[in-house]
């Protein structure tokens, strides 16, 4: 019987928001282009002020990679990840990562489910021994470069649940035998799509669902802080 454990990534397994942390690296360290970062931050501040949903913010993010060569983006992502993975005690969250490793040791395969993109997620998955990634697919144009548009499903909110259903069908696996881990209310559709939801962190609205459903909860503390606390 195949069993899977679906993990959101940002603030569930790692202590940063990968897309935004990477974009800062991309503009400042990789391309030496602080003006692009300033434009990006102004744009997103306005979107948030206007109440844009996570889905809207996610689509807006990928427009900033219009005309970018995928090979360049992949090299930049590997360099970004190498610096973060060089200090895993700051980068990873202790309890969720320990859970992931224990599940994998018991033949329950971990799967990343994220609105981030594969180039950023691949090095993290390799480090943790995760073979499956359900993430945003960036479309390419005839010239091979990114168009700034993304494919479906958009792996945010209900799109995460849709991606999981499609994946489980392809694996002939039963959702009732699977687990899911998330930290934000936008992860609720994903959590409800499996038999065992687990909440990471202290998001108030999601915690209310956890309490009502008697779901397990894990702390969202970096490994270094977890060690210091004990």
* 68-82 pLDDT, tens digit each: 999 999 999 999 999
Cα angle 27-32-38, degrees, rounded to a multiple of 5: 50
**Which pLDDT does position 230 carry in this prediction?**
47
CATH number at residue 149: 3.40.50.1000
* 173-205 pLDDT, tens digit each: 999 999 999 999 999 999 999 999 999 998 889
How many domains, the chain? Answer: 1
Which residue range(s) make up the domain with 173?
4-229
* 59-115 pLDDT, tens digit each: 999 999 999 999 999 999 999 999 999 999 999 999 999 999 999 999 999 999 999
**Which pLDDT does position 181 carry in this prediction?**
98
Rounded Cα gap, residues 140 and 59, in angstroms: 15
Which pair of tokens denotes residue 64? 């900033």
Region label for 11, one of left (φ > 0), alpha (ψ between -120 and 50) or beta (otherwise): left
Alpha helices, H only, 50-172: 54-63, 70-85, 88-91, 94-105, 118-128, 158-171
Nearest to 91 by CA among 225, 228, 229, 230: 225
Segment (H or E) for 48: helix 34-49
Name the pTM for this structure.
Answer: 0.94
* 127-150 pLDDT, tens digit each: 999 999 999 999 999 999 999 999
């Amino acid at each position: 019987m195949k069993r899977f454990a679906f993990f959101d990534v940002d603030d569930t397994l790692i202590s940063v928001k990968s897309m935004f942390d990477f974009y800062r690296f991309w503009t400042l360290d990789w391309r030496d282009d602080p003006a692009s970062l300033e434009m990006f931050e102004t744009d997103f501040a306005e979107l948030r002020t206007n109440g844009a949903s996570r889905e809207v913010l996610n689509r807006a993010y990928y427009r900033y990679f219009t005309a970018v060569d995928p090979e360049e983006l992949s090299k930049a992502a590997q360099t970004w990840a190498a610096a973060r993975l060089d200090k895993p005690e700051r980068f990873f969250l202790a309890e969720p990562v320990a859970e992931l490793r224990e599940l994998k040791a018991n033949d329950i395969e971990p799967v990343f489910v994220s609105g981030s993109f594969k180039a950023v997620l691949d090095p993290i998955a390799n480090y943790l021994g995760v073979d499956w990634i359900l993430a945003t697919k960036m479309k390419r144009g005839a010239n091979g470069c990114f168009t700034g548009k993304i494919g479906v499903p958009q792996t945010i909110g209900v799109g995460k649940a849709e991606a999981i259903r499609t994946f489980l069908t392809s694996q002939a696996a039963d959702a009732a035998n699977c687990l899911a881990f998330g930290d934000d209310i936008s992860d609720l559709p994903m959590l409800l799509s499996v038999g065992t939801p687990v909440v990471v962190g202290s998001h108030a609205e999601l915690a209310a669902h956890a309490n009502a459903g008697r779901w397990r909860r894990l702390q969202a503390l970096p490994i270094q802080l977890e060690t210091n606390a004990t």
